[in-house]
């Protein structure tokens, strides 16, 4: 399944390392990353392939939220279809 | 690759602008539940509803978390109960109780369909059924009831209209301690639709498949935000902005509807393109109209602004879904919209202006608190006016008013939660008693003869 991971919050060191490390540990392949910083606000969008990950989607989503709390960021995991549906005719 | 700004836009819509799926509603036919007694029928109804909708909550909750979009309500609509209890109409309340229990078991807040369709005439069993509505609403928590009193094809059944006025008073009296809240769960229609997923008027029409899943989208806050982004735009550009935004909102609804139907193993019904406000700030249809340039909703220009909004929502939505249905338009309930509540409290919007607004939007005079001593014939006359607008214009109209027991103009009533609060609004005091007591059928308009 194609999933979108979004990470937002105040910029600090090690955000990408923490998130990509977590995903790699779950056998999730990162297909694309885009990241920007506006002022001190960090925003990152990752497209990830969860097809070989053994964790179910909702558990994964909770674990990512927990990781977010740990590093002081807001992390969401969503099915990529919602963005495709809303922004492509 | 996904565009980052689009991803962030969607997340902002959900987290800051109240984008949500307002309801996932499962329509269930009760026709296979008819048995030789009320008791056996009620049992069959309970078992069928609980069996069919067993996974409704778990599936919608999983979808909500996977897509990251809130799904506010899970609901069920059923075949008009008057048809199920036609052989023993005086015992219809036993089916009402069974449906209420089923809703409780399923963990859903409202179940609609304690309904009768009497737009051309009221059968004896339907007259008896109508008499049971106040008791059914007073003895249940989750059940909603509706009656269709007219249509463009058939005219308006004024005998039923007269009876509805009395019923609304009875329902208010039976639920007096809670401000007449029973009336919030009762709606009278002209041109009722068979696939409406929204309460209180949802029922599962006899022309529908056995079981379907329909979705009601919403998003007044998202439309408001989009319009705030084009403050100097002319009205063509404003309409275009609404249209584009409605497309995005509806696509989210369509995605959820299709996936919900697949996982529940039932047919996808329709997506209802409605802007449904809630009492939360930032989720108001009234504020959209004000953003278009009105000092306050209810002033001159309100009807035109609403016509623009309603049309643009439909045009964007129709493009986004293969099957659009239900009521599909902007709702203008008073108690459920913070902008409406404030305008009503300030005396800036009247029942007359609301009536005019219903000519150009969905659906009708909705969630309006009126004085408790309003005569039944006046309530019937309010309904007759609404039904006439619907009949002549070939659209759905409705009335959901609450004559709040013991309250007068200027008082306020609070229903809590999504039903909100409302100031008691004045209605005209000239009597329609004689007109309403005439009864009969107002003939269908000439343009209904289209064959």
* CATH code of the domain in which B42 resides: 3.20.70.20
Residue B449 lies in a domain: no
Q: Where are the domains of chain A?
A: 2-87
Residue B88 lies in a domain: yes
Same domain for B249 and B378, yes or no, is: yes
Q: Which residues of A touch B251 (CB under 8 A)?
A: 85-86
What number is the average pLDDT over the span B388-408? Answer: 97
What number is the average pLDDT over the span B406-421? Answer: 91
Reply yes or no on whether the pLDDT at B357 is more than 70: yes
What number is the average pLDDT over the span B356-365? Answer: 93
Where residue B1 falls among pLDDT bands split at 50, 70, 90? low
Q: What is the mean pLDDT of chain B?
A: 95
Contact check, Cβ <8 Å, B8/A6: yes
| pLDDT on residue B18 | 86
| pLDDT on residue A88 | 85
Same domain for B180 and B228, yes or no, is: no
Residue B451 lies in a domain: no
Contact B341, B334 (CB under 8 A): yes
Contact check, Cβ <8 Å, A6/B1: no
Q: Which residue of A has its CA nearest to B246?
A: A86
Counting residues of chain B whose pLDDT is more than 90, the rounded percentage is 90
Same domain for B265 and B396, yes or no, is: yes
Same domain for B138 and B229, yes or no, is: no
| pLDDT on residue A40 | 86
Contact B118, B146 (CB under 8 A): no
Give backbone dihedrals phi and psi of B449, rounded to 5 degrees, phi first.
Answer: -90, 80
Which listed CATH number (1.10.150.120, 3.40.50.2000, 3.30.450.40, 3.30.70.260) goes with A2-87?
3.30.70.260
What number is the average pLDDT over the span B135-154? Answer: 97
Domain that holds residue B59: 28-190
- How many CA within 13 A on the CB side of residue B306? 28
Q: Which residue of A has its CA nearest to B10?
A: A83
What number is the average pLDDT over the span A16-31? Answer: 95
Name the interface residues of A facing B (CB cutoff 8 Å).
Answer: 4, 6, 8, 31-32, 34, 36, 43, 45, 47, 57-58, 61, 76-87, 89
Model confidence pLDDT, tens digit, residues B234-292: 999 999 999 999 999 999 999 999 999 999 999 999 999 889 898 888 899 999 999 99
Residue B207 lies in a domain: no
Collapsing DSSP states into helix, strand and coil, what is residue A25?
A: helix
Same domain for B168 and B230, yes or no, is: no
Residue B206 lies in a domain: no
What is the total count of domains within chain B?
2
Contact B297, B348 (CB under 8 A): yes
Same domain for B134 and B235, yes or no, is: no
What number is the average pLDDT over the span B343-349? Answer: 96
Model confidence pLDDT, tens digit, residues B2-13: 788 889 889 889
The alpha-carbon gap from B316 to the nearest alpha carbon of chain A, in Å, equals: 11
Contact check, Cβ <8 Å, A87/B3: yes
Residue A8's beta-bridge partner residues? A43, A74
Q: Which residues of B touch A48 (CB under 8 A)?
A: none
What number is the average pLDDT over the span B313-325? Answer: 93
Residue B443 lies in a domain: no
The alpha-carbon gap from A31 to the nearest alpha carbon of chain B, in Å, equals: 9
Residue B196 lies in a domain: no
Reply yes or no on whether the pLDDT at B118 is more than 90: yes
| pLDDT on residue B384 | 98
Contact check, Cβ <8 Å, B248/A61: no
Where residue A38 falls among pLDDT bands split at 50, 70, 90? confident
What is the ipTM for the molecules in this complex? 0.87
| pLDDT on residue A66 | 96
Model confidence pLDDT, tens digit, residues B270-286: 999 889 898 888 899 99
Same domain for B297 and B403, yes or no, is: yes
- B172-175: long-range pairs with CB below 8 Å, 24+: B172/B372, B172/B402, B172/B403, B172/B404, B172/B405, B173/B134, B173/B405, B174/B134, B174/B135, B174/B137, B174/B138, B175/B137, B175/B138
| pLDDT on residue B259 | 95
Same domain for B253 and B390, yes or no, is: yes
Same domain for B69 and B166, yes or no, is: yes
Residue B195 lies in a domain: no
| pLDDT on residue A18 | 95
Please name the member of A34, A36, A82 whose beta carbon is closest to the beta carbon of B255: A82
Rounded distance between C-alpha atoms, residue B428 and residue B351, angstroms: 9
Same domain for B186 and B226, yes or no, is: no
The alpha-carbon gap from B75 to the nearest alpha carbon of chain A, in Å, equals: 23
The alpha-carbon gap from A60 to the nearest alpha carbon of chain B, in Å, equals: 10
| pLDDT on residue B73 | 93
Ramachandran bin of B320, using left for φ above 0, alpha for ψ from -120 to 50, beta for the remaining angles: alpha
């Amino acid at each position: 399944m194609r999933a979108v991971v979004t990470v937002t919050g105040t910029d600090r060191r090690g955000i990408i390392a923490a998130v990509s490390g977590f995903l790699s540990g779950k056998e999730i392949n990162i297909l694309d990353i885009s990241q920007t910083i506006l002022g001190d606000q960090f925003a990152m969008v990752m497209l990830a392939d969860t097809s070989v990950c053994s964790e179910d989607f909702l558990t994964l989503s909770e674990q990512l939220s927990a990781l977010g709390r740990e590093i002081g960021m807001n992390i969401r995991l969503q099915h990529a279809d919602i963005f495709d549906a809303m922004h492509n005719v | 690759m996904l565009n980052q700004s689009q991803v962030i836009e969607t997340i902002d819509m959900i987290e800051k602008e109240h984008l949500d799926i307002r309801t996932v509603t499962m329509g269930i036919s009760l026709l296979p539940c008819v048995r030789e007694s009320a008791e056996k029928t009620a049992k069959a109804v309970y078992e069928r509803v609980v069996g069919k909708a067993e996974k409704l909550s778990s599936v919608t909750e999983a979808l909500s978390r996977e897509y990251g979009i809130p799904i506010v309500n899970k609901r069920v609509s059923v075949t008009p109960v008057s048809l199920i209890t036609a052989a023993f109409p005086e015992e219809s309340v036993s089916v009402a109780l069974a449906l209420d229990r089923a809703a409780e078991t399923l963990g859903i807040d409202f179940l609609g369909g304690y309904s009768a369709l009497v737009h051309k005439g009221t059968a004896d069993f339907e007259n008896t059924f109508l008499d049971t509505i106040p008791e059914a609403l007073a003895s249940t928590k989750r059940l909603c009831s509706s009656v269709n009193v007219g249509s463009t094809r058939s005219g308006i059944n004024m005998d039923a209209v007269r009876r509805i006025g009395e019923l609304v008073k009875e329902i208010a009296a039976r639920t007096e301690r809670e401000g007449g809240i029973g009336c919030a769960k009762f709606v009278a229609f002209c041109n009722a639709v068979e696939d409406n997923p929204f309460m209180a008027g949802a029922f599962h029409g006899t022309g529908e498949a056995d079981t379907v899943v329909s979705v009601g989208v919403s998003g007044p806050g998202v439309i408001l935000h989009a319009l705030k982004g084009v403050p100097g735009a002319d009205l063509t550009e404003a309409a275009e902005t609404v249209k584009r935004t409605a497309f995005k909102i509806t696509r989210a609804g369509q995605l959820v509807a299709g996936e919900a139907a697949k996982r529940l193993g039932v047919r996808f019904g329709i997506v209802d393109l409605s802007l449904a406000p809630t009492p939360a700030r930032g989720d108001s249809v009234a504020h959209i109209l004000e953003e278009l340039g009105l000092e306050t909703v209810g002033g001159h220009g309100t009807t035109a602004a609403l016509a623009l909004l309603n049309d643009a929502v439909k045009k964007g939505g129709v493009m986004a879904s293969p099957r659009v249905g239900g009521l599909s338009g902007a709702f203008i309930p008073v108690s459920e919209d913070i902008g409406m509540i404030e305008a009503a409290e300030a005396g800036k919007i009247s029942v007359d202006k609301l009536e005019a607004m219903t000519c150009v939007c969905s659906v009708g005079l909705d969630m309006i608190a009126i004085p408790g001593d309003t005569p039944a014939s006046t309530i019937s006359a309010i309904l007759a006016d609404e039904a006439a607008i619907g009949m002549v214009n070939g659209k759905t109209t409705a009335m959901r008013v609450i004559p709040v027991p013991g309250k007068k103009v200027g008082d306020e009533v609070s229903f809590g939660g999504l039903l909100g609060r409302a100031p008691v609004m004045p209605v005209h005091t000239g009597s329609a008693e004689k007109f309403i007591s005439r009864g009969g059928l107002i003939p269908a308009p000439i343009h209904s003869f289209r064959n």
